């Protein structure tokens, strides 16, 4: 089953050295997942200042607003998609992701990806 790991962390800037170490650690996790043939994709997201939210208002009209859909302490920073055998394996992989959980801040949400039977790209 494919799982999406949504990485929530603070958008506060870190030093270039810290950013470099995190990027290298992400590459290690992605390379390890590729080695196990479960890697499906991973991408960082631009800051929430670039986000736009589209939603229906009470009249059924579409409303477009700047920013993320929710005010939270952490922001959605990126994701991984891994093809794991079960949720336990997905949890083990999420523990390896370096962004989001360092210093007790942030989290990684794991969601199974629902198959869209009969639909393809």
Mean pLDDT of the chain: 85
Q: Which domain holds residue 52?
A: 2-112
pLDDT of residue 50: 85
In a domain, 70, yes or no: yes
Query: CA 106, CA 9: separation in Å to the nearest integer?
Result: 4
In a domain, 34, yes or no: yes
pLDDT > 60? residue 23? yes
In a domain, 106, yes or no: yes
Higher-confidence residue: 46 or 85? 85
- The DSSP H or E segment spanning 50 is none
In a domain, 60, yes or no: yes
Q: What is the band of 93 on the pLDDT scale with cuts at 50, 70, 90?
A: very high
In a domain, 121, yes or no: no
Of 74, 103, 89, 86, nearest to 6 (Cα)? 74
In a domain, 118, yes or no: no
Strand order through the sheet with 2-9: 39-44, 75-83, 2-9, 107-112
**pTM for this entry:** 0.79
Specify which residues 44 forms β-bridges with. 78
In a domain, 119, yes or no: no
Pairing of strands 107-112, 2-9: antiparallel
In a domain, 82, yes or no: yes
pLDDT of residue 90: 96
Q: What is the CATH number of the domain that holds 41?
A: 3.30.70.1060
pLDDT of residue 40: 97
Domain tally, the chain: 1
The answer to whether 106 touches 7, Cβ cutoff 8 Å, is yes
The answer to whether 39 touches 30, Cβ cutoff 8 Å, is yes
Burial of 16 (0-12, 13-18, 19+ CB in 10 A): exposed
Q: What is the band of 52 on the pLDDT scale with cuts at 50, 70, 90?
A: confident
Window from 2-11, 59-68, 97-106 with minimum mean pLDDT? 97-106
């Amino acid at each position: 089953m494919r799982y999406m790991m949504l990485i929530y962390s603070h958008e506060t800037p870190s030093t270039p050295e810290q950013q470099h170490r995190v990027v290298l650690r992400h590459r290690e996790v992605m390379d390890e997942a590729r080695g196990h043939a479960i890697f499906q994709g991973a991408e960082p997201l631009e800051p929430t200042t670039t986000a736009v939210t589209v939603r229906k208002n009470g009249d059924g009209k579409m409303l477009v607003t700047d920013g993320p859909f929710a005010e939270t302490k952490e922001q959605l920073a990126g994701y991984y998609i891994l093809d794991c055998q079960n949720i336990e394996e997905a949890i083990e992989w999420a523990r390896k992701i370096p962004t989001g959980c360092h210093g007790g801040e942030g989290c990684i949400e794991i969601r199974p990806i629902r198959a869209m039977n009969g639909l393809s790209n």
